[in-house]
Chains A and B, each alone.
Chain A
């Protein structure tokens, strides 16, 4: 099956710093989403981004489908950004959203 690797696995930032999270996937995909899991376990959908670039406030994401990677940028980080970030992909041709989740990046933003 498709493999989804994220880096770095852990990241510690001071409040106000910027960061880039990476997601590599091993096969062609027709769906890629980024999620944030807060410290209480709730998963929040950040982006649907199978290709191209999107921005939402301090967050932006870029997917280069031909090179099989996606990047999530966090600017001016805040303590509320802490948690685990997952990318998830749907392998091309499966027809509906059977997502395969990546390994995750655990982010801690300290004040």
Chain B
């Protein structure tokens, strides 16, 4: 299984600012995924990041608000821009293991916006 790390693990930010979350995987992967989990809720897919191409965003999520970079096969970043208290959530990155058809998640970034 893949080992995934995220930075930062948590942060408290002021409204109107931006935060960039990093996701590092210990092996090369084709697809990386970014999810949001609002307090007490389930997970919602934000976007899919494929190395060398623009990220694909799900309905309700836009690039201006959640820009994503995927510079190589082991790393991705998600930026939460112009934050408001409604952006307070856990943000998780994940990767798929095509050998086992399973998905593995990073430990998440707990974001609180004041």
- Residues in chain A within 8 A of chain B (CB atoms): 31, 33, 35, 40-43, 45, 48, 86, 88, 96-104
CA gap between A103 and B43 in the complex, in Å: 9
Query: Among the listed A35, A48, A97, which residue makes an inter-chain contact with B31, where contact means beta carbons less than 8 Å apart?
Result: A97
Chain A-chain B contacts (Cβ-Cβ < 8 Å), number: 51
CA gap between A42 and B96 in the complex, in Å: 16
**CB nearest to B10 among chain A residues:** A41
CA gap between A102 and B92 in the complex, in Å: 16
Binds A, one of B13-21, B68-76, B77-85, B100-108: B100-108
B105 touches A43 (CB 8 A): yes
| Chain B interface size, under 10 / 10 to 19 / 20 to 34 / 35 or more | 20 to 34
B33 touches A41 (CB 8 A): no
**CB nearest to A45 among chain B residues:** B102
A97 touches B96 (CB 8 A): yes
B7 proximal to A (CB < 8 A): no
Residues from chain A with a CB closer than 8 A to the CB of B33 are 97-99
CA gap between A42 and B92 in the complex, in Å: 9
Query: Ordered nearest first, which 8 A-B pairs have the shortest CB separation?
Result: A43-B105, A97-B96, A101-B43, A101-B42, A48-B102, A41-B108, A45-B102, A48-B101
B104 touches A45 (CB 8 A): yes
Query: Among the listed A33, A40, A102, A104, which residue makes an inter-chain contact with B103, where contact means beta carbons less than 8 Å apart?
Result: A33
What would be 24 A-B contacts, judged by CB atoms less than 8 Å apart?
A33-B102, A40-B107, A41-B108, A41-B110, A42-B108, A43-B94, A43-B105, A43-B108, A48-B100, A48-B102, A86-B42, A88-B43, A96-B31, A96-B48, A97-B96, A97-B103, A98-B33, A98-B45, A99-B33, A99-B45, A100-B45, A101-B42, A101-B43, A104-B42
CA gap between A33 and B108 in the complex, in Å: 19
Q: Min CB distance, B41 to chain A, in Å? A: 8
